[in-house]
Amino acid sequence: MALELDFSHPLRSFVATLRLTVPRGRTLALVGPSGAGKTTSLRVIAGLLRPREGTLTVDGVPWLDTRRGHVLPPERRKVGYLFQEYALFPHLDVSQNVRFGARDGGLADEMLDRFGITHLRRARTRDLSGGERQRVGLARALARDPDVLLLDEPLSALDAHTKTSVRLELHQHLRDLDLPAIVVTHDFDDAAALAQTIGVVVEGTLRQIGTPAELVAAPADPFVATFTGATLLPGAAVGTRDGLTEVLLDTGATAWSTQPGSGRVHLAVYPWDITLAREQPDSSLTNHLRGPITSIVPIGDRARVRVGLVVAEITAASARRLELAEGDSVVASFKATAARLLQAGG
Amino acid sequence: MRVPPGDLFAALRTDAAVDAILVTLTTNAISLVLIIGLGTPTAYWVATRSSRLRDVVVTLIELPLVLPPAVAGIGLLAAFGRLGLLGGTLDFVGIDIAFTKIAVVLAVAFVASPFYVRTAVSAFESIDPALPDAARTLGAGPAKVFLRVAFPLAAGGLGAGAALAFARGIGEFGATIMFAGSLQGVTQTLSLAIYEQFDLDFDVALAISAVLVAVSAASLFFVKLFSRWRSSSTSPIPFAPSSQPSG
């Protein structure tokens, strides 16, 4: 019981070719730069776009099979689609919006209740806040009793303050629903918060698919590494010693990685694997890069400190203890195991 | 030139003026029904397509806008006159269009239709494409999408277009006089009556002109009202479409 999609369709400068399987009760996040083919996938599933070639089955029922000329129109597919700006009907009130696709009014009322918007039922959609609009959009999509849930950038229309609480709420709803769900987002953090599986789509192809932890632990290429938040340090692998690969960075410094590599490489390191110190620490850490602090950005109880090319994420407390200021020369240190090697040009 | 208002009202009660008002109202009402009935689906078709055929259709729709009225009249005669392209067939089944009320209706519809269709196309085009898409995913077929989403959202623009077309049609002169003539009580509309009364009874011409000024101003006012209604999906307005029960 699942959604199985396999299609190819020409986009502006490349052909999107994607093959996805999402089991019931699971959420897949499609992440990647805009125009990579993420929304195209949702439109193909919903029937709003007929791909050049492809098949789609949901719970074993064929929705699309271009070879056989079988294409169910959108109104005959049971899809719950949350559009990017929610696409609420401006000429209808909240209750009419939610009832638009509902087969029976009871389910619509249940959704109004479930999303806590019963008191807004007579409200015009233009009077709603961003979070409320999203709830109405989701209630409307689910009142159709869909077999598949598709969410296109569900959080991008919200301000940063609302986003965190809505993300948590959305995560709970997705967890409670027994549906295959696909979330499209350009934000890795949103994807990791909402989905069990993340697929990175670049230029119409799936670069890598896995759990958020898997993507971070072993990004398949430099793009996935930066997308998941790593800093890339370009350099060249010049040899091995004691099982470690020696990398001569383009900055002139030397770094060590436990991963094998040769020729031009990118050394990927995540902000949370880096510690900062005024002087080079006498510890088990292998890599030390000295440089001036170019920026300090506090984020809640943490601070992002940019030292030369690398970004370190440290607690606000240690930032205070080190009395860091822009322009100070500090040492960024990280383990050889935290230094992932990726072949350049991949 | 100074005419007391009382004399103007008296002038409006002459046969020529009364006949012209009746002819104008009936022919324009029928034209407007034709324009809206045929123009709305055409405009919706144009607004939801992006093929090259669309450009051809739009050119044909807009042609009456730039065509000299005399050419429009000759064109209609060439098409529907007794010796015209379709005239022979129509004559054969006993229908003679030229110099009848039908001719007035056709002339008005021909000249005024672009005003409606152009406004209607832009009204349909200004609908966020995500809305019809959303309706489709919510189980609405193409007909329901039109009735429950596209039409209500474009209604203000359609109303504005209809008011514009009516204003243009009420004043139609050139094509009508060539194709329908100026027979009092049959094809003589208000504009044609002004032209004729200009020589016969200037007061009547003046009185009819005053009526047309009032009607034109009222039409334009309705265009403004409807246009505000169209852009009002984001602002409160006194006559928003009433909420209808659905489900």
The span from the first CA to the last CA of chain B, in angstroms, equals: 64
Same domain, A147 and A234: no
**Distance (Å) from the alpha carbon of A227 to chain B's nearest alpha carbon:** 28
Q: Do residues A11 and A68 share a domain?
A: yes
- Residues 6+ positions from A339 with CB-CB distance below 8 Å: A247, A255, A256, A257, A258, A259, A267, A268, A269, A287
Task: Judge if A185 and A111 occupy the same domain.
Answer: yes
Instruction: Quick: pLDDT tens for A18-54.
Output: 999 999 999 999 998 888 999 999 999 999 999 999 9
DSSP B19-73: HHHHHHHHHHHHHHHHHHHHHHHHHHHHHT--SHHHHHHHHHHHHHHHS-HHHHH
Instruction: State how far the Cα of A56 lies from the Cα of A308, in Å rounded to an integer.
Output: 48
Whole domain around residue A31: which residue ranges? 2-221
User: Hey, what domains does chain B have and what are their CATH numbers?
Assistant: 5-234 (1.10.3720.10)
A-B CB pairs within 8 A amount to: 81
- Predicted pLDDT at B232: 47
Q: Report how far residue B105's alpha carbon sits from residue B100's, in angstroms, rounded to the nearest whole number.
A: 9
Number of domains observed in the structure of chain A: 2
Determine whether the interchain pair A90/B246 forms a contact, defined as Cβ–Cβ distance below 8 Å: no
Q: Which residue is closest to A90 within chain B, CA to CA?
A: B233
Pair A240, A205 in one domain = no
Q: How far is B113 from chain A (nearest CA, A)?
A: 27
For A166-183, what is each residue's pLDDT tens digit?
A: 899 899 989 988 899 999
- Find the residue in B nearest to A96 (Cα): B246
Within 8 A by CB and 6+ apart from A208, the residues are: A199, A200, A215, A219, A220, A221, A224
What is the ipTM score, two decimals? 0.84
Looking up residue A287, the CATH number of its domain turns out to be 2.40.50.100
Put simply, the answer to whether B130 touches A77 (Cβ < 8 Å) is no
Contact A101 B138 (CB under 8 A): yes
Query: Do A203 and A234 belong to one domain?
Result: no
Distance (Å, whole) CA B138 – CA A89: 12
- Please list, in sequence order, all residues whose beta carbon lies within 8 angstroms of the beta carbon of residue B170, skipping any fewer than 6 positions away: B24, B28, B190, B191, B212, B215, B216, B219
Q: How far is A74 from chain B (nearest CA, A)?
A: 5
Is the CB of B136 less than 8 angstroms away from the CB of A48? yes
Alpha-carbon A73 to chain mean position:
29
- What is the reported pLDDT for B234? 37
What tens digit of pLDDT does each residue of A117-168 get? 999 999 999 999 988 999 999 999 999 999 999 999 999 888 888 888 889 9
CB contact under 8 A, A92 and B141: no
Residue A220 bridge partners (DSSP): none
Beta sheet of A340-343, edge-to-edge order: A254-257, A244-249, A231-241, A263-269, A340-343
- What gap in Å lies between CA A28 and CA A196, rounded to an integer? 6
Verify that A101 and A147 share a domain, yes or no: yes
Of A188, A221, A254, at which residue does a domain stop?
A: A221
Q: Quick check: A71 and A47 in contact, CB under 8 A? A: yes
Q: Domain holding A87: CATH number?
A: 3.40.50.300
CB contact under 8 Å between A73 and B136, yes or no, is yes
CB contact under 8 A, B246 and A92: yes
Quick check: A87 and B134 CB within 8 A?
Answer: yes
Cα–Cα distance for residue pair A44/B134, rounded to 1 Å: 14
Query: Which chain A residue's Cα is nearest to B156?
Result: A91
Work out whether strand A197-202 and strand A27-31 pair parallel, antiparallel, or are unpaired: parallel
The backbone torsions φ and ψ at residue A197, rounded to the nearest 5 degrees and listed phi first, read: -125, 140
Q: Do A91 and B241 touch (CB under 8 A)?
A: yes
Of A182, A202, A221, the last residue of a domain is A221
Q: What is the pTM of this model?
A: 0.83
Mean pLDDT, range A247-254, rounded to an integer: 91
Claim to verify: residue A97 and residue A157 sit in the same structural domain: yes
Residues of A in contact with B158 (CB under 8 A): none
d(CA B26, CA B28): 6
- Strand, helix or coil for residue A183: strand
Which chain A residues are closer than 8 Å to B246 by Cβ? 92, 96, 99-100
Q: Indicate yes or no: CB of A87 within 8 angstroms of CB of B133.
A: yes
In Å, what is the CA distance from B242 to each residue of A91, A98, A227, B143, B245? 9, 17, 48, 21, 10
Query: Are residues A20 and A40 both part of a single domain?
Result: yes
Given an 8 Å threshold on Cβ–Cβ distance, is A144 in contact with B153?
no
**Which chain A residues contact residue B247 at CB under 8 A?**
99, 102, 104-105, 108
pLDDT tens per residue across span B127-180: 999 999 999 999 999 999 999 999 999 999 999 999 999 999 999 999 999 999
Q: Highest-confidence range of A62-66, A161-165, B84-88, B218-222, by mean pLDDT? A: A62-66
Domain limit, last residue, from A168, A192, A221: A221
Q: Provide the greatest CA pair distance for chain A.
A: 71
For residues A287 and A252, membership in a common domain is answered with yes
- Both A45 and A104 in one domain: the answer is yes
List of residues 6+ apart from A3 with CB closer than 8 A: A20, A21, A22, A45, A56, A57, A58, A148, A180, A182
Nearest residue of B to residue A43 by CA position?
Answer: B133
C-alpha triplet B220, B226, B231: angle, nearest 5°: 130
Instruction: Kindly list the residues from chain A whose CB atom is less than 8 angstroms away from the CB atom of residue B140.
Output: 75, 100-101
DSSP class per residue in B84-121: STTHHHHHHTT---TTSHHHHHHHHHHHHHHHHHHHHH
Q: Tell me: do A66 and A207 sit in the same domain.
A: yes
* Whether A202 and A326 share a structural domain: no
